Amino acid sequence: MERYEKIDADIFDLKIVYYWASAHRSKLFYVLCPDAKAFLKSIAKGDTLIEAAGGVVVNENHEYLFIYRNKKWDIPKGKIEAGEGIKEAALREVEEECGIKISSVGGRICKTYHVYVYKGEVVLKKTYWFEMRCKGQKKLKPQKEEGITAARWFKKDHIAPIVKNTYPSIMDVLVKEELVDEQAI
């Protein structure tokens, strides 16, 4: 428990916590609050919220699609455009980022949240994740203008490089999809 530091929900400030956490990467923190959903809503109201959508794509060979961007493995996703539905955005972003055609979009896996700096401002990003299927398109074309340098298919038992070099929010999605055992994190 010594690696964890409690942050009081009543005085929580996303910008301050983000920079503190960035400076103390070896530490972890938690916020104790009576209602996590209400707490997240209050953060989203007080700070810039960016909504995004993406998908965990599997092909007919039971391989999963990952992208390499900013020196980390990731799952394709992107911002929801004005007037666009969540599923529609997820489909568009995956197809654009990887140069493929999705054959079907299934159910929602989960939502994740992460914080980063965008145009000099600390923002909260809420991402909706969907199950997706792709048939017969082996050739992938990473969207270079989005900083994606590689797009590759991985068998479930060969995703160790992803687990070692991805974001915590992506690990949450992989656990939900049972691609990674929660105990392995």
Task: Tell me: do 92 and 179 sit in the same domain.
Answer: yes
Tell me the pLDDT band of 40, cut-offs 50, 70 and 90.
confident
Domain hosting 63: range is 50-184
For residues 174-185, average pLDDT: 83
Question: Could you tell me if 167 and 154 lie in one domain?
Answer: yes
- Give the C-alpha separation, 127 to 89, whole Å: 11
Confidence band for 6, pLDDT divided at 50, 70 and 90: confident
- Percent over 70 (pLDDT), the chain: 96
Asked if residue 146 and residue 97 are part of one domain, the reply reads: yes
Residue-wise pLDDT tens digits, 97-129: 999 999 999 999 999 998 888 888 899 999 999
132 and 117, same structural domain? Answer: yes
pLDDT tens digits, one per residue of 72-90: 999 999 999 999 999 999 9
- Looking at every residue in the chain, the average pLDDT score rounds to 90
Asked if 29 and 67 sit in the same domain, the reply is no
**pLDDT confidence band for 93 (50 / 70 / 90):** very high
- Assess whether 78 and 141 both reside in one domain: yes
Q: Please identify which residue in the block is written with the tokens 């797009």.
A: 151
CA 131 – CA 58 distance, rounded (Å): 8
Q: Give the pLDDT band (50/70/90) at residue 2.
A: low
Buried b (16+ CB within 10 A) or exposed e, 67-88: bbbeeebbbbbbebeeebebbe
Helix (H) / strand (E) containing 7: strand 4-8
Integer Cα distance of 152 and 156 in angstroms:
13
